[in-house]
Amino acid sequence: MRILEHPDPDDIGIDAVLAALADPMRRQIVCRLAEGHTDMACIAFELPVSKSTSTHHFRVLREAGVIRQRYQGTAILNSLRADDLNARFPGLLDAIITAQRTTGATAGTGA
């Protein structure tokens, strides 16, 4: 079985997290996962970008420690690492999600 690399909770850095969450498309992914959707397949997000761009966004979030990904068959399932992020940076995730929802999902996307 193929395993994807994730940073250990203690290795999640603020710079990587903020850089990952600077992109509105990635914030949209995080907000969707924060709604309680766990183990969501990448294809379920219906992002208005190409498959390769979508894959890039998920990889950036995973490598920053924002999401956890695992294979189930040929699908990659995603879940938010809220507990790890809240332990490292209390209140950060909630502030990002609140700001994204307040400004609207399309803010900053050029739409």
Residue 40 contacts residue 68 (beta carbons within 8 Å)? no
CB 32 within 8 A of CB 45: yes
Please give the CATH topology (third level) of the domain spanning 9-101.
Arc Repressor Mutant, subunit A (1.10.10)
Interval 51-84: pLDDT, tens: 999 999 999 999 999 999 999 998 999 999 999 9
pLDDT-derived band at 1 (thresholds 50, 70, 90) equals low
Looking at residue 104, its pLDDT comes to 66
Q: For residue 108, is pLDDT > 50?
A: no
Q: Is it the case that residue 10 has pLDDT exceeding 90?
A: yes
